[in-house]
Amino acid sequence: MPRDIPIERVRNIGVIAHIDAGKTTVTERILYFTGRTYKMGEVHHGTAAMDFMDQERERGITITAAATTVPWADHRINIIDTPGHVDFTVEVERSLRVLDGGVVVFDAVAGVEPQSETVWRQADRYRVPRLCFVNKMDRVGADYWRTMEMMRGRLGATPVPVQIPIGSEDTFAGIIDLITRRAWYFSGDRDQPPTEGDIPADLVDDTERWRETMIERIGEHDDQVMVSYIEGHALGEDEIRKAIRRTTLANALTPVFCGSALKNVGVRLLLDGIVDYLPAPEDVPPVTGTRPDGTEVERSASDDEPLTALAFKIVADPYVGRLAYVRMYSGVLHAGMAVRNSTRERKERVGRILRMHADHREEITEAYAGGIVAVIGLKDTFTGDTITAASDPVLLEEIAFPAPVLSVAIEAKTKGDQEKMAEALHRLSEEDPTFRAVFDEETGQTRISGMGELHLEVIVDRMTREFGVACAVGRPQVAYRETIRRPSESETRFVRQTGGRGQFAHVKLRVEPRAAGSGFAFESTVKGGNVPAEYVPAVEKGVRQALDNGPVGGYPVVDVKVTLVDGSHHPVDSSDLAFATAGSMAFKEAARKARPVILEPIMKMEIVTPDDFFGDLLADLNVRRGNVSSVEARGNTQIMRAELPLAEAFGYTTTLRSLSQGRATSSMEFSHYAETPENVAAIAVSA
């Protein structure tokens, strides 16, 4: 069966932003104006179609990325609405990995906020072309031009306004299109399309000045426009649109739109911008993979190429079972088709193929290159796995996820809940790569780890509601790490004689500290065959096992380099097990002599507070070992940027509300690991 819409008319986009910037409200308006829904949902009423989880509707925030498909101007737009809270940044990470373009939403009052920077950097990493929508232009304090300046200063972006607002705050009346030199006015009736009219007389000069600026900035990155500009040729509307598209796809410029999604202003024009300026699957570079023999191969977005797809999200659906969301990079996927999981080298069979609309499903028989669909039947497929044709396996680059920074102990309240809890933890860890569950043999406790307090709170809530598990939760625990501060060496002989063949291994290791965040490295400089090459991987395996249990407090060891310097072997008694054991023992001894220290996670914070409470909040940060890096005045509010140890951040939101009468707000995200002061380290060791 041929595809129902050409690939050049497909758009795969994500809506990304800081929490409360209005992402879900923008998406709800898109659903309504494209005819996908017939009733407009509201986040604050808990009726948003894209926020379908109970936890999302109760809290008024997006927790999990939701996918939908809408038609607009003879195009098909696949949309993923992503969370804005830092605890759920994994949803943004894996969504951007498979999307072709992005719509970044900014609050016109707050401008560029901390999580805005985070998602922007994530989009930079995957080279995702994007356009910006400055939302909430009708709110008190809205400032389109300040937001644009913050994009330049904080994000290092090159924003180009393709629209300018008519008024702001309570005088916001419409939008001027700089390309057509026409104004669009909006009525209070959500079903009424915008009315096209002349530009207000007092804004004609501003329109011409900003139109000239727009063309200049495009010309700086586009030779065709530059030549026309220098020679004084007037550019037509289509020429400008094509130039904006070229520079956007090259990630040289970012077109900026404005409006108020809550008041239904500017969303239709934003949809036109998505179609005009964001890439089709065939506009992005071919995806690169590796064959089993190690050779690289490219797969372009074509139905005629062999099947290549990436599973980017696993969901336990209560009605249809285990769903795998996949992005189709090339080829065609049929229901009932036999495929290969190249990551795990397993054969799989596709059961059913679904086109998703949040938690609603539409069954289809085929999925084509460039599409995003959900598949039932892939039992051994997990987030980041590559799905290919059985006859032509290729392995795509996997998705990298951050490590959890916070843990809590959890235990079932009854024996009957224990079995249900094990199943629930297994299913939830399949869905979320940043969630871990580990049983501690020493304490007999199960520890769950995640990206923050809200993340773990939602996990526990889901266990209770979705899986019927009654459980008790302990105090949060910080995910400490250990490292070393100076080089050292250690020599270990492992000898066991138990009658018959024994065990013998002799290794000499050197350990050295590495730069923060650089991870673990291992090399061998053994010469003369003292340690045969076949035993070197066993030594590395033993060292890696020892990394899990540091010499100070038993926390994982990071940022070290281990070198196998020398050793010896026995022609009969040596084995992989003996060298792994010797490697582990030698590393533990060397680490104890290398001035080991405990590292604690440091959070990056932004606190927005009225002037009246600034002193109290600053004093509280000092008590919590916080370090204020900058303070910025914005109207009658102060914006503090600070770094705070995670151990001191528990319950901070409650304290903030108490000290500021509920008027201050804060946001927090993981920044880096730093050495823990001795008094705090002593507590961490005894914990």
Q: Model pTM greater than 0.85?
A: no
d(CA 458, CA 199): 49
Quote the Cα angle for 340-343-345, to 5°.
50
d(CA 103, CA 132): 6
How confident is the model at residue 2, as a pLDDT? 66
- Tell me the torsion sign for CA atoms 401, 407, 413, 419: positive
Residue 41 has pLDDT above 50, yes or no: no
d(CA 584, CA 574): 16
The residue with greater pLDDT, 602 or 2, is: 602
Phi, psi (rounded to 5 degrees) for 371 = -90, 165
d(CA 271, CA 79): 11
Confidence of residue 44 (pLDDT cuts 50, 70, 90): very low
CA of 323: how far to CAs of 31, 384, 386, 389, in Å?
23, 14, 15, 19
The residue with greater pLDDT, 181 or 22, is: 181
d(CA 658, CA 600): 27
Please give the sequence-ordered ranges of beta strands (E in DSSP) within 413-487, or none if there are none.
436-440, 445-450, 471-478, 481-484
Mean pLDDT across the chain: 86
d(CA 84, CA 87): 9
- Asked whether 484 and 511 are in contact (CB, 8 A), the reply is yes
Starting at the earlier edge strand, list the strands of the sheet with 436-440.
436-440, 445-450, 406-412, 471-478
Any idea what DSSP says for residue 284? S
Confidence of residue 46 (pLDDT cuts 50, 70, 90): very low
pLDDT tens digits for range 65-93: 678 888 998 999 998 877 766 667 777 88
How confident is the model at residue 271, as a pLDDT? 94
3-state secondary structure at position 7:
helix
Confidence of residue 687 (pLDDT cuts 50, 70, 90): low
- Pairing of β 101-107 and β 195-197: unpaired
Confidence of residue 454 (pLDDT cuts 50, 70, 90): confident
pLDDT tens digits for range 194-211: 888 999 999 999 999 999
Q: How many CB atoms lie within 10 A of CB 226?
A: 16
Rg of the chain, C-alpha, whole Å: 28
- Pairing of β 254-258 and β 159-161: parallel
How confident is the model at residue 45, as a pLDDT? 45
Please enumerate in sequence order all residues whose Cβ is within 8 A of that of 330, keeping only pairs 6 or more positions apart, or say none. 287, 299, 300, 301, 302, 303, 305, 306, 307, 308, 369
Of residues 298, 491, 461, 308, the one with CA closest to residue 385 = 308
What whole-number percentage of the chain has pLDDT above 70?
Answer: 92
pLDDT tens digits for range 588-644: 999 999 999 999 989 888 888 888 889 999 999 999 999 999 998 877 788 899 999
